[in-house]
Chain A
């Protein structure tokens, strides 16, 4: 999927500016929240004016979308925490091995981080830093 730099920049400035997915999810949640409240107001108005138009299925689908989005955000957060924990653990392990076997600390750290990353290979997440690198390559 291709996305314009401008839209990426917008997302970055409207969000935390670290992870694309997180910023996008925050934007989606906010928009959905607003849509649900607007639809509910419209439903009430229709009831008061005795209009036959039924908005309840629309509200239901939006609410479902909202639930899905929040679930995704939770998953994303869990993944981030997991990743953080893995790196911390590997760092601690590296220190222990370093003192015990007297192997250069840097080497062990790199290897352990590689292992922790590969165990989380199923997860994908996009940082703006990665896009910045891609952009730099493109500009050359």
Chain B
């Protein structure tokens, strides 16, 4: 079974392991392995070592979350790293004779290994739309950060902060996976938004997506107008939204904001996040007035005027502040 004339214990162990994981191992193989293992504790250790290696490699199956600011390592990226690394190259290629041939081989990388990476972020005050290399589109709200890794067998994104909406180009062979807070949203061709607000909220605007909440082993399927909130402890809360509510929740994509019963205080705080001109509510009773309506996030004055009209107030401008006062 060992191809080399004088294989080391470790090489023999590797041969045994490749036999045992082949799916074609026979009872005789198992017996042969048992005999070999029983012969010497070093055989047992070498076989365990090979098993440890084989098992460790399973970590390659699931690309984990991208760390904040951490350098992202991909199979593709390491092609160049390896060439800059004479020690392991020499080690892996086993001598200069093999070097030339292997260099030639390494320069041709199969497409399935390549990973295209993109970092998306919006730092200004307006949401922004990004075209992804697969034809999908992502709209990120202010403060959102998304890491994109396009691989041949999957499209994997991670929402690090904020909220983002995705319009997924259809590609059955490459699932589109968004990770947020340890949970996964898996789509083929559909539209949905993911936001991180304490937990993770997913809203589906078209088609069906599969979600795998953090720590869960069974997926949940969401249809359009379904919303799931995954708390930090992994608990999931499902709700069905009206078209109107969906439009309101995703109004940020057009730079709009929709209020539906929020108090004036809450609404003003949201508006103030987007504007230099700050809305100040002088009267605590007025602060609890409920607000309904659509506004441009950047139109503090329009918001103040409309709120004042609804609640019977008037607006007084003082420098960078808009004071809402009782008439």
Q: Do A and B interact?
A: no
Interfacial residues, chain B to chain A (CB-CB below 8 A): none
